[in-house]
Structure formats: structure tokens, C-alpha cells
């Protein structure tokens, strides 16, 4: 069974659509929405559609995911954003790679993203962070900030990041790529519904500093890729 983990904060305009799209491809999967004290109808919509609602009082992208992972019942974890930017219909294709023997599949957005979905500023920032990630950790990661992943729950203990905010996304990929069979596949990336919450400059600089600290403190690095599956 797949557990779909979705962090949410005031996403009443899109969360319902995301849940319904997941149900079109997976009738049996577990859908867990981690709500961080939304003040709109997000929680009400989640419950009305039969998904599991979990509350996480501590704000932060990483905190939401840690809470969601802790209650997930499936042997496979899939992640999506509540704003509708990641298409659930990419999950079956990602699952095919998992069934070939990969441990962690990440959706790469940049090659198929349009200016409507990702601004030039956002695109440049992502590419800068990607370069630092590849150079510092010697990993073949092309989209370090993607929020759509599919992985085996059994590897959780060795890849679970310590970051509490947006840095969680890059850290989980680094840990997966340096210790497990990691692969990125190109996916469609759609314009978000509702208000943008990303703070490009502040989040970008924070992520960059986090990468430098992680490299110095953790010693994580690989000089050889550990997976050669097609």
C-alpha cells in the first residue's frame, strides 16, 4: 500500500482537487494530510473526502513531513504538495522504477516547467542550489528542491532529515542518493493554486547555508554512484 503524505497550510482552494486526483489513480492508498493549524476550511475538506487529517502545531515543511511519516501505514511513501503543482498521475510511472529495484524516486521539475509554473527567479535559484548540492556532496541530483518523491518506507531510518523547514527537501535527497539506489525522472510541474508561500530570497539563502553546514558537520559525500539500473 502507498501512503500519500501531503503538508498543508490554508489550502482550501486546492487540497480537495489533489485528494480527488489521487483517488482516480489509487482507490486503496492511504492519504494523510498534515495540517499546520490552518485557519480556512482545509481540515474540513480533508475530512469530508475521507482522507486522514493529522495536525502538526510546529510550522515548517520538514516538521509536517516528519509528522506524516510517523503515522504512515504503507510500505511505500509518496509525497505531494497541497497546492496542486505536482500531478498525482505521475505516481504510477514512478512506481514502475521502484519496482525495478530503486529505493528512492524523485520528480525532476526543471526540464518540463513553464514560466507560468515557475518564475525565472525561482528557476535560477533552483539551479544554483543544484550546483552546490552536486559539488558539495558528489551526488547526481538535478532538482534538489522538488517536493514529489516516492520511496520505500524501510529506508526511512537512514534517510530521515533533521531539517525542520524547506531544507528538508534537499537533505532527504542527499541522504537517499549517498546511501541508496536513487533516481530522478522528469515530471510535469503545474502552476500552483492559491497564494504562494515560498520566500525565494530568504528560503534560497537559508537552504544554501544549510547545505554548507551539512557538508561540514555530517561528512556525507560519495565519489561513486551506487546504482546502475536503467
Tens digits of per-residue pLDDT, 185-196? 999 887 655 455
Tens digits of per-residue pLDDT, 46-56? 999 999 999 99
pLDDT recorded at residue 213: 82
Tell me which residue of 113, 201, 117, 208 sits closest to 170, measured CA to CA.
208
- Mean pLDDT, rounded, of the chain: 87
pTM: 0.88
pLDDT beneath 50, residues of the chain: 194, 223-225
In angstroms, the CA 127 to CA 110 distance is: 9
Residue 30 pairs in a beta bridge with: 3
In angstroms, the CA 118 to CA 109 distance is: 9
Tens digits of per-residue pLDDT, 71-93? 999 999 999 999 999 999 999 99
Fold of the CATH domain 2-218: Spore Coat Polysaccharide Biosynthesis Protein SpsA; Chain A (3.90.550)
In angstroms, the CA 53 to CA 140 distance is: 35
8 A C-beta contact, residue 176 and residue 222: no
Give residue 124's Cα distance to chain centre: 19
Amino acid at each position: 500500500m502507498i501512503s500519500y503524505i501531503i503538508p498543508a497550510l490554508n489550502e482550501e482552494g486546492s487540497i480537495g482537487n489533489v485528494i480527488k486526483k489521487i483517488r482516480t489513480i489509487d482507490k486503496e492508498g492511504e492519504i494523510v494530510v498534515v495540517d499546520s493549524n490552518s485557519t480556512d476550511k482545509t481540515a474540513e475538506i480533508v475530512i469530508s473526502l475521507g482522507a486522514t487529517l493529522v495536525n502538526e502545531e510546529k510550522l515548517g515543511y520538514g516538521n509536517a513531513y516528519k509528522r506524516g511519516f510517523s503515522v504512515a501505514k504503507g510500505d511505500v511513501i509518496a509525497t505531494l504538495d497541497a497546492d496542486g503543482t505536482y500531478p498525482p498521475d505521475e505516481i504510477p510511472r514512478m512506481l514502475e522504477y521502484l519496482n525495478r529495484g530503486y529505493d528512492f524516486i524523485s520528480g525532476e521539475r526543471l526540464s518540463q516547467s513553464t514560466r507560468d509554473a515557475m518564475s525565472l527567479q525561482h528557476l535560477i535559484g533552483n539551479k544554483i542550489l543544484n550546483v552546490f548540492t552536486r559539488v558539495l556532496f558528489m551526488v547526481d541530483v538535478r532538482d534538489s528542491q522538488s517536493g514529489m518523491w516516492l520511496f520505500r518506507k524501510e529506508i526511512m531510518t537512514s534517510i530521515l532529515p533533521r531539517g525542520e523547514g524547506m531544507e528538508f527537501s534537499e537533505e532527504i535527497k542527499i541522504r537517499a542518493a549517498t546511501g541508496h539506489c536513487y533516481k530522478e525522472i522528469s515530471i510535469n510541474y503545474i502552476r500552483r493554486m492559491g497564494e504562494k508561500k515560498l520566500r525565494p530570497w530568504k528560503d534560497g539563502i537559508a537552504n544554501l547555508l544549510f547545505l554548507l553546514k551539512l557538508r561540514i558537520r555530517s561528512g556525507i559525500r560519495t565519489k561513486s554512484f551506487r546504482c546502475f539500473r536503467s
